[in-house]
Every structure is written in C-alpha cells, then in structure tokens.
Amino acid sequence: MSQMSKGESVIAEAPMNAFSIAIVLLCCIVNIADGLDFATLVQAAPVISHAWAVNPRMLGVLFASTAIGMAVGAFVVAPQADRFGRRTILLSALALNAVVMLLSAAAGSVHELLALRFFTGIGVGSLMANLNVLVIEYANRKWGNFFLSVMHLCYALGVTFASQIGYWFVADHGWQILFIVGGLFNLVILVAVFLWLPESMQFLLAAQPRGALERVNRVRRRLGVEPLDALPAITGGGRARTRIADLIGPGMIAGSVLLWVASLGYSVVGFYHLSWTPKVLDDAGLPTRLALLAGTFTSIFSILGNLSMGYFSAIVSAARLTAIYFAGAATSFLLFGLNTGDPYMMLTIAPVISFFAQGAFSGLMINATRYYPATMRAAGVGFVVGFGRFGAVAGPLVGGIVLGAGGGLLPLYAALAVVAAVAAACIFIVSRFHGPAPATA
C-alpha cells in the first residue's frame, strides 16, 4: 500500500480526540443522507407507477438513470476532490442533492423525474467515494478501519430511513413527501458540513492551495499536535498529480486494475444476492413468509460482517482478511448451490453469504483508501466505486436471465462462487503492490 504523508502519519499515530471523532461521525451522518437519496425512488416507485401509469420497463429506466448518474459521479466528479478538495466536492454534492430532491417532489412527469434522478445519482456517487476518503484521512490507524465499516452501515440506515418515511407518511401525503424530507435532510447536513467539516489535512499538504499552512495548523491545533513552521516541499507536482493517467501509471497500474476487478466482482455477487435471494428461496419451496424473513436475517449478518471486518482488519492485514472474506463468500455461494434441494439449508446459508460479502465490501473500501496516496486518493476510490456500478447492474440482470431461462441453480451459484474467488485472488495479489510515495512525503 502507499506510503504515508506527514499529515497522515500525525493522525495515524495520535489518539483520536473529540474533534477527530466528530469529523468521522459527521461523515457517517452524511452517508445516511446518501442512502436516503438513493432509496427514495425505490419507496416512491409503487405509488408513482399507479399515479402516472408507469409501466415496469419505464420504472427500470428510472432506476437505471440513478445508476448511470452514480457512475458519472464516481468516475468524473469524485476524482475532482484531488484537485479542488474533499470538502468542496462534499458541499457541492450535498447542495446538488438538496436542490434535485426538492425539485423531484415537484416533478410533473416521469421524464422530468428521469432527468432529476440522473443528477441525484451524480451526487450519490460523488459522496460515496469521498466519504470513504475523509474517514480514513481523519481516523487514526487503530480505529480507521472500524469507523469506515460503521460509515457503510450508515448508508443502510439511510435506506431504512427512506423505507420508514414510505411506510408512515406516503399514504397520507403522497410520494412527494419522500423527496421533500430527503431534500430538507440534505439541506440540514449541508449546513452542518459547511460549519464544522474542515478540509482534509492530507489534501492541503499535497495540493497546497492558498492559505494552506494556516488551514493545516488550524486542524493540527484542534487535533492536539504541534503546528508546522512551513509546508513540506511538493515532490510530485501538487495538483498535477490528480491526472487520471496516474492511476494506471508506473507502480500503480497493477493494483488499480486488481481493485477494479475486485469491485466489479463484489458488485456482481453482492447485488445478485441482495436482489434475488428471497425469490430463489420462495421458488425452492420455502414458505413465502420465511423467504421474505430472509431479508431480515441477511441484514443482521451484513451488519455483523461489516463490523467484524472493521474490527479485525485493525489487528491483522486488511488485504488478507478481505481475501479471506471473499473466499468465504465463494464457499458459501457454492454450498448454497449444492443444497438447492433443501430450502431450509439454503435459508441457513443465505445470511452467511451476506456476512462474508458485506464484510468483503468494507474490506475492499479499506484497501482502496489505503492503497492510493493523498494526491490521487479520491480519484482512485472513485474509480473503484465506479467500476462497482457496472456489476451492480450486471449481477441482478444476468441472474434474472439465467433464472428465467431455467438454467438450474447449481451452475449459476457455482459461477457466482468463481466470481467471488477471482475477487479474493485480486485482493490477495494487490497486497503485494505498492503505490508511489505521496507528494508530501
């Protein structure tokens, strides 16, 4: 993994104080807003489909527009944080989502909503990548991986928040209430970030914009460390290091490609599992009520997978542990396929898949944020998230085609096991590659 900059080494070795914990928790709250923004359409879709007579194909296009926007946010917007700053991109994305969500509540046609969901996706994709970066840059070595896992749980809390709004208020106030609450929540978070979130010290040391020394020392004082007398010399061209070509430059290309493949692999198996498991269990003969209850079991085990990765990756190698979790997911998928004649055994194995798959995702993000130096970290993580968007579409789509064609569960789940095993191999190999020292080293 990449060597640490001076700013990172200060934070990595120092105990976390109230200031650094508050920053990390604020990032977690922002991720709740991100999950809420993504899930509003999911909750509004049944009502919108009836109110506007929207057919399933058009609903699919609406969902796809969000996914495409997320890819644009991850590939195009998130990397700009290496040039303009993490705080700048976060504020811009939150402002965009606040405006677009409120405009969505006033949408008068499915085509207006289609365009607005594309821009929502851009905001969601931009936030997702940069929040991972900020948490790692403000948490110390002991707690960084754990807090990153907690932040991923907060995204799920945002999705749950959207479902509760839908359950309690949509019947009386219409689907618009989802977007109104989402927009107002983003506005509140926007104000909080503007008032309390400082720029990343790693970015300030690497890019050295105007007033960087004063801003760095302001952060260092609040972290309880001595201020700097002068900024370190820039050895990599400062902002010029943010070129996307650097991700596939000498010393970086192998690790980048391996992380992209692992992200694609996770998204294929993870989103297939999330989308199709209840239906597969129902078709296998499990009582429908139990098949639906599987979602509760898988959610609980997903939380445990997240937290266990965050905790144990601070003790053992994060790369090797992530590879083990991917291997565990591969084994679980294969066991699921081998037990297709026993629906209760399938029900038992399904949460185990969630444990390993979600834990592997947290591990993937931990590895991505720690692989790239500060000068290209937002771009690196953005591309890892962006490649995952392709798998998020392909996994459920290909799975649906195979299941619809009656191809049999064992070949399908064996193929999913292979995909997870490839991701495990990628993460294991990436631990052998080292990025260049950051510009501020």
Q: Which residue in the block uniquely carries the two structure tokens 């771009």? A: 379
- For residue 146, the model assigns a pLDDT of 92
Range 322-325, long-range pairs (CB < 8 A, 24+ positions): 322/360, 322/363, 322/364, 322/366, 322/367, 322/427, 323/424, 323/425, 323/427, 323/428, 323/431, 324/424, 325/356, 325/357, 325/359, 325/360, 325/363, 325/424
- Position 283: which residue type? D
Which distant-in-sequence residues (6+ apart) come within 8 Å of 268 by Cβ?
A: 391, 394, 395, 398, 416, 419
Residue ranges in 197-287 assigned as alpha helix (H)? 201-207, 212-223, 253-283
Taking the C-alpha atoms of residue 208 and residue 288, their distance in angstroms, rounded to an integer, is 59
Question: What single-letter DSSP state applies at residue 199?
Answer: P
Structure tokens at 245: 């070509």
- Of the candidate CATH numbers 3.20.20.70, 1.20.120.80, 3.30.1330.10, 1.20.1250.20, the domain formed by 6-232 belongs to 1.20.1250.20
Q: Is the separation of the CB atoms in 435 and 1 below 8 Å?
A: yes
Intrachain domains 6-232 and 244-430 with the same fold: yes
Q: Which two tokens stand for residue 90?
A: 């976060």
CB within 8 Å of 1: residues ≥ 6 apart: 319, 367, 370, 371, 431, 434, 435
| Residue 341 burial class via C-beta count within 10 angstroms: exposed 0-12, middle 13-18, buried 19 and up | exposed
Helix ranges, 139-175 (H): 144-173
What are the extents of the domains in the chain?
6-232, 244-430
Q: Could you tell me which of 395, 417, 420, 412 has the C-alpha nearest to residue 326?
A: 420
- Copy the structure tokens of residue 135: 């948490």
Q: State the Cα–Cα distance between residues 117 and 404, nearest whole angstrom.
A: 29
> Would you give per-residue pLDDT tens digits along the chain (441 residues)?
554 555 556 777 778 999 999 999 999 999 999 889 988 987 888 899 889 998 877 887 888 888 889 999 999 999 999 999 999 999 999 999 999 999 999 999 999 999 999 999 999 999 999 999 999 989 988 899 999 999 988 988 888 888 889 889 998 999 999 999 999 999 999 999 999 999 999 899 988 999 999 999 999 999 888 899 999 887 554 454 456 778 888 888 889 999 999 999 999 999 888 778 877 887 888 886 776 667 678 878 988 999 999 999 888 889 999 999 999 999 999 999 999 889 899 999 999 999 999 999 999 999 999 898 888 899 999 999 999 988 888 888 888 888 878 778 999 999 999 999 999 999 999 877 543 333 333
* pLDDT value of residue 433: 59
Prediction pTM value: 0.85
Secondary-structure class of domain 244-430 per CATH = mainly alpha
Q: How many CA atoms lie within 13 A of 196 on its CB side?
A: 18
Positive or negative: CA dihedral 223, 226, 231, 237: negative
Amino acid at position 116, single letter: L
Alpha carbons 206 and 370: distance in angstroms, whole number: 16
> DSSP per residue over 81-99, as a string?
HHHH-HHHHHHHHHHHHHH
What does R_g of the chain's alpha carbons equal in angstroms?
22
> Within 10 Å of residue 402's Cβ, how many Cβ atoms?
17
The answer to whether 291 touches 278, Cβ cutoff 8 Å, is yes
Q: What is the largest CA-CA distance in the chain?
A: 70
